[in-house]
Amino acid sequence: MSLLLPTNLQQYPSSSSFPSSTPLLSPPPSTAFVPRRKCLRLVTSCVSTVQSSVATNGSSPAPAPAAVVVERDQIRLGLPSKGRMAADAIDLLKDCQLFVKQVNPRQYVAQIPQLPNTEVWFQRPKDIVRKLLSGDLDLGIVGLDTLSEYGQENEDLIIVHEALNFGDCHLSIAIPNYGIFENINSLKELAQMPQWSEERPLRLATGFTYLGPKFMKENGIKHVVFSTADGALEAAPAMGIADAILDLVSSGTTLKENNLKEIEGGVVLESQAALVASRRALTERKGALNTVHEILERLEAHLKADGQFTVVANMRGNSAQEVAERVLSQPSLSGLQGPTISPVYCTQNGKVSVDYYAIVICVPKKALYESVKQLRAVGGSGVLVSPLTYIFDEDTPRWGQLLRNLGL
């Protein structure tokens, strides 16, 4: 297996450069393949004329140097500078009552008033990872795909929260759904195709020049070369630049529109946004660990409450015990912990009495209507529903895990 790296911007040879009695990719004659206009954007294949063996740890990009904790008072949090990830990261922090204040949208630095010792730096996702490693940033929000590609399993990078509930996608191999690939549906079948040899390897276009070779090596696929491509990767097979691609997939619609398909066993990793930190910063920079603790508590409280609803109803009963038994007889009314049942006091003939009890339960959105129906079926009335904003646990589970990972 070889890796072709961008050194001289030479055009990668098309499939016609390889001896073959029939073309490797030929659309079905009945349905001529006409790429959509957006797929005709220039795809520049940047490759080297010299092939190099894939190293044991994968391939380029080269590992970043060890982090150095630079003396400064402020904790630096890196956020994506543009795109959907940038907007979603700011919205998530806002939902956690952490408001990013940017005086000028052209500036790359901002503040979070609720964290007075913290600066926000807007950077490209890959630069967030690099600057975490160099010590220029202490924390960052990036996709797990970017972290894996540019972090390369560096021990100084530590994942604080791995599931921020946005930026969901997966890194996957995609091949044409026509020609010699029409009946190929798995990575094993792709690897066993007789077309691939040392002289004519499988050509894979990707921007993931570390994860791609690493994945192929781990799966024992030898006859493959990689090329980097700028532009729409989906066009590379149709243009003859590559046989297959390795790219991020969200809905899969773009692949289908370009006559490409995913294959079984071809998913390299599942990805979403994550909160990442520098191990050295957390252990050596004053205030960094406390800042992470606060951010993590806010994140976990908000994410745990996401999609949860509080349901409150009144119910007649002779005692709290009796009401509890009626409520718990319904399968979806047990809530998170409970239900919580409290007496509702009223005055009758000058005396304070209890005829009703208030029931409070927490239910997920998908079970909301069914829970309300069951609550009414056992005597509940005046049902109130409101979304939950935060659920603070006695202890934040990921905080304990982080301390153990840091050896604290």
Span 370-388, mean pLDDT?
A: 92
Which structure tokens are listed for 405?
A: 């990972």
Using the predicted structure, report yes or no on whether residue 399 has a pLDDT greater than 60.
yes
Residue-wise DSSP of 236-255: HHHHTS-SEEEEEESSSHHH
CA distances from 314 to 43, 128, 352 (A): 65, 52, 17
Q: Name the pTM for this structure.
A: 0.79
CB-based burial, 19-49: b 16+ in 10 Å, e otherwise: eeeeebbebeeeeeeebeeebeeebbbbbbe
User: What's the pLDDT tens digit per position in 318-347?
Assistant: 899 999 988 888 877 766 667 899 999 888
- Give the separation between CA 148 and CA 158, rounded to whole angstroms: 11
pLDDT at 350: 82
Secondary element (H or E) of residue 277: strand 273-278
Q: Between 296 and 71, whose confidence is greater?
A: 296
**Number of neighbours of residue 117 by Cβ within 10 angstroms:** 13
pLDDT at 336: 60
CATH classification (class only), 169-270: alpha beta
Q: What are phi and psi of 311, to 5 degrees?
A: -120, 125
- Give the separation between CA 110 and CA 97, rounded to whole angstroms: 16
Using the predicted structure, report yes or no on whether residue 230 has a pLDDT greater than 70.
no
Q: Where in the chain is the domain with CATH 3.30.70.120?
A: 308-387
CA 19 to chain centre: 42
Tokens 């990719």, residue located: 25
Three-state SS at 208: coil
Tell me how far apart the 2 most distant CA atoms of the chain are, in Å: 101
CB-based burial, 253-277: b 16+ in 10 Å, e otherwise: ebbeebbbbbbeebebbebbbbbbb
- For 20-165+272-304, the fitting CATH number among 3.30.9.10, 3.40.30.10, 3.40.190.10, 3.40.109.10 is 3.40.190.10
Span of 98-107, 139-148, 166-175, 294-303 with lowest mean pLDDT: 98-107
**Where do the DSSP E strands lie in 279-391?**
308-316, 340-348, 351-364, 381-387
Span 170-199, mean pLDDT?
A: 95
**Number of neighbours of residue 322 by Cβ within 10 angstroms:** 14
Q: What percent of the chain has pLDDT over 90?
A: 67
pLDDT at 34: 42
- For 308-387, the fitting CATH number among 3.30.70.120, 1.10.287.1060, 3.55.50.30, 1.20.120.1690 is 3.30.70.120
Three-state SS at 403: helix
What does DSSP say about strands 351-364 and 308-316: parallel, antiparallel, or unpaired? antiparallel
Q: How confident is the model at residue 302 (pLDDT cuts 50, 70, 90)?
A: very high
Tokens 């997939």, residue located: 249
Q: Where in the chain is the domain with CATH 3.40.190.10?
A: 20-165+272-304, 169-270
